[in-house]
Amino acid sequence: MKIKTKRQKLRMTILLITLLLFPVVLNYLSPYLIIMGASEGVINGSFLVFGLLFLSALFFGRGWCAWVCPAAGIGDVCLMVQTKPVGRKTRWIKWGVWAIWLTIITLFVIKAGGYQRVDPFYMSEEIVSVTHPEQYVIYYFVLASIVGLNLAVGKRGFCHTTCWMAPFMIVGRKISNFFKTPALRLYTNPSLCSDCLSCNRTCPMSLDVHQMVKNNVMEHQDCILCGQCVDGCSKQAIIYRFASPQKKLNVIN
């Protein structure tokens, strides 16, 4: 995987750092601890993180998925082995996972009589998530699951099929689009496109970026704003811009 631009070098450096910090922050991204907290009426650390991800999406879309998420670093490494695009239908699996998960959380909250307190370090009293031998078992199981899905399903297979965080940001992005909030977006000038297809080859999310350019529609729920299509386009047919939508967005689902 050759990294050509300073922007992509910066992105990969950040992902390397967050991947190394994964044992520290694992509990704060946990889909399990939020359920445990709900059963006791506690707003835990991962609840707060997921809320922040939703808010961040109003201005940065799914930028977390490309620039910060520890699982993104694993996904990008797996791209060196697995380059098969993920099918369109597969991308909807995560919504089923998310719906079931939210239902379970809601039922536990109701049973507990609602949320009663906030504890960012709930079941994480030592702040660092992985400190005991049994926690390493959980940590490596999570790593193995992410790697396994990426290799079995295709490019960023975990992101497409299982990630419980992505829907929060997709919903936040849709709200941003609806209210035309200034945000980080991709824009294109189709007349500059040379049909080299470098954008399709570099997209880690298996998107048909070339067709998006031709249609002048650069909004897609699976776009993580990694900027690889921007940096890989020698004709500068795709650009980053922090702005409100210039017109009503035609969103590709």
φ and ψ of 67, to 5 deg: -115, -20
Radius of gyration of the chain (CA): 19
Give the pLDDT score at 3. Answer: 57
Distance CA 226, CA 154 (A): 18
Whose tokens are 């811009």? That residue is 241
φ and ψ of 25, to 5 deg: -100, 0
Q: Enter the tokens of residue 119.
A: 């504890």
Residues 6+ apart with CB under 8 A from 143: 22, 74
Sign of CA dihedral 46, 176, 170, 62: negative
pLDDT tens for the chain, residues 1 to 253: 555 799 999 999 999 999 999 999 999 999 999 999 999 999 999 999 999 999 999 999 999 999 999 999 999 999 999 999 998 888 889 999 999 999 999 999 999 999 999 999 999 989 999 999 999 999 999 999 999 999 999 999 999 999 999 999 999 999 999 999 999 999 999 999 999 999 999 999 999 999 999 999 999 999 999 999 999 999 999 999 998 876 544 444 4
Give the pLDDT score at 104. Answer: 98
Residue 151 Cα distances to 18, 79, 98, 104, angstroms? 21, 8, 22, 29
Structural domains in the chain, sorted by start: 6-172 (no CATH), 180-243 (3.30.70.20)
Give the pLDDT score at 250. Answer: 46
Distance CA 170, CA 61 (A): 7
Any idea what DSSP says for residue 40? T
Query: Closest by alpha carbon to 61, among 146, 150, 142, 182?
Result: 182
DSSP letters along 216-238, please? T---BTT-----HHHHH-TT--E
Any idea what DSSP says for residue 186? E
Distance CA 246, CA 253 (A): 20
Give the pLDDT score at 99. Answer: 97
Give the pLDDT score at 248. Answer: 44
